[in-house]
């Protein structure tokens, strides 16, 4: 298959690119390199394209005939989205609309979309099934939910087929250390704990210790980035099967087990043999207390099984990758 990966120079996209390439698929990465990294595109080809630039996007679709699109490109930080909502709606929603328009124009009918646990808002049950009430509590989550709906509407109007993955907390890195997490600035918990372990001048701020959770800190479901990538391979294979035109299937991707911020810090200390300096800080706006996935549907329908479900293994891989980066 020939697959377009928007955002393929980013964290999750680069792991999917490696996996797809290793399975003999031809990949083309479309990335504006705003937050992605040229050196992360180690497989397939790179086209420097911003999804907000419709003319360049059209040229890409004119030049290549894609069997499917995996749409990873997005701004992804909850806190930033609360401060700069316009940036998130423009980049994420308008960019996706442009992509769907180009897919329709050039007859590409299969899409896999990177959605998020943030579409659920405040959970009423745990673990969360896909049919739980939706109600984002931050603009990032809203931008992803709006795109989900746009994809559903494009599917029913134009006979396209989609798989929507709602990621929980992507973590870890390629065990061969060929790619990994590198956000600038970094906002995610595990790399920030690892950076604080490496650099004693840094400390780790715990955002909120008064949540309604066993130790008062937020609980998240950490999912190995390679297991996320594996779900995409299964997803695109299922889209190649006949039938299903006009439908968008939704799957959660998580391990079904929640860990608090303090538990992540303890697990990191076990892996690295060192404890970071920790500071209590106020809650970060837009954070839900607890987000844990039920991925039963993904297991049942696509036969997905996580290869690295243990938090310690996830942190070990993240630690091995972190040590390939300069101390900062
Ligand atoms: N946290 C800290 N200190 C930090 C960084 C994070 O205490 O320095 C806490 C956060 O408050 C949160 C938890 O660690 O409770 C995890 O935070 P991350 O920033 O690593 O991840 P988020 O849960 O905010 O967001 C991630 C993805 C989103 C996705 C969301 C869904 O980045 O794309 O998971 O759960 F929407």
Backbone angles phi, psi at 192, to 5 degrees: -70, -35
Q: Are residues 15 and 141 in the same domain?
A: yes
| Tens digits of pLDDT across the chain (328 residues) | 999 999 999 999 999 999 999 999 999 999 999 999 999 999 999 999 999 999 999 999 999 999 999 999 999 998 899 999 999 999 999 999 999 999 999 999 999 999 999 999 889 999 999 999 999 999 999 999 999 999 999 999 999 999 999 999 999 999 999 999 998 889 999 999 999 999 999 999 999 999 999 999 999 999 999 999 999 999 999 999 999 999 999 999 999 999 999 999 999 999 999 999 999 999 998 888 999 999 999 999 999 999 999 999 999 999 999 999 999 8
261-272 vs 311-322: helix axis angle to the nearest 10? Answer: 60
Q: Are residues 234 and 307 in the same domain?
A: no
Instruction: For residue 141, give the ligand 1 atom closest to its CA.
Output: 36
140 is catalytic: yes
Active-site residue (options: 140, 222, 251, 308)? 140
Q: Are residues 90 and 72 in the same domain?
A: yes
Ligand 1 contacts CB of residue 189 (under 6 A): yes
DSSP 8-class letter at 259: E
Strand-strand pairing, 169-171 and 204-207: unpaired
Ligand 1 contacts CB of residue 21 (under 6 A): no
Q: Are residues 13 and 109 in the same domain?
A: yes
Q: What totals of helices (H) and strands (E) does the chain contain, helices first?
A: 11, 14
Instruction: For residue 286, give the ligand 1 atom closest to its CA.
Output: 24
Q: Are residues 197 and 263 in the same domain?
A: yes
Range of the domain at 292: 189-220+256-322
DSSP 8-class letter at 38: G
| Domain boundary pick from 208, 232, 253 | 253
CA distance 270 to 114: 32
Q: Are residues 27 and 157 in the same domain?
A: yes
Asked if residue 171 lies in contact with residue 190, where contact means CB atoms within 8 angstroms, the answer is: yes
Domain tally for the chain?
Answer: 2
Ligand 1 contacts CB of residue 74 (under 6 A): no
């Amino acid at each position: 298959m020939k697959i377009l990966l928007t955002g393929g120079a980013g964290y999750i996209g680069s792991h999917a690119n490696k996996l797809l390439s290793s399975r003999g698929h031809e990949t083309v990465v479309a990335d504006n390199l705003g937050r992605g990294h040229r050196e992360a595109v180690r497989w397939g080809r790179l086209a420097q394209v911003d999804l907000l630039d419709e003319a360049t996007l059209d040229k890409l679709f004119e030049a290549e005939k894609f069997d499917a699109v995996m749409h990873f490109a997005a701004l992804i930080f909850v806190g930033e989205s609360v401060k700069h909502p316009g940036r998130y709606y423009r980049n994420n929603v308008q960019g996706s609309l442009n992509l769907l328009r180009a897919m329709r124009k050039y007859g590409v009918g299969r899409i896999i979309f990177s959605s998020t646990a943030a579409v659920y808002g405040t959970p009423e049950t745990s673990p969360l099934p896909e049919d739980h009430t939706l109600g984002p509590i931050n603009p990032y989550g809203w931008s992803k939910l709006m795109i989900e709906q746009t994809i559903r509407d494009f599917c029913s109007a134009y006979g396209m087929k989609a798989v929507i993955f709602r990621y929980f907390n992507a973590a870890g890195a390629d065990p061969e250390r060929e790619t990994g997490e590198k956000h600038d600035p970094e906002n995610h918990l595990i790399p920030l704990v690892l950076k604080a372990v490496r650099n004693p001048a840094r400390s780790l701020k715990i955002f909120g210790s008064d949540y309604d959770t066993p130790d008062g800190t937020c609980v998240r479901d950490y999912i190995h980035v390679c297991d996320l990538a594996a779900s995409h391979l299964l997803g695109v294979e299922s889209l190649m099967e006949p039938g299903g035109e006009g439908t968008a299937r939704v799957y959660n991707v998580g391990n079904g087990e929640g860990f608090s911020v303090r538990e992540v810090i303890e697990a990191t200390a076990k892996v690295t043999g060192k404890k970071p300096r920790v500071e209590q800080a106020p809650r970060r706006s837009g954070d839900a207390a607890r987000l844990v996935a039920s991925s039963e549907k993904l297991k049942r329908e696509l036969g997905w099984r996580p290869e690295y479900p243990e938090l310690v293994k996830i942190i070990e891989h993240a630690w091995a990758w972190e040590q390939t980066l300069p101390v900062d």
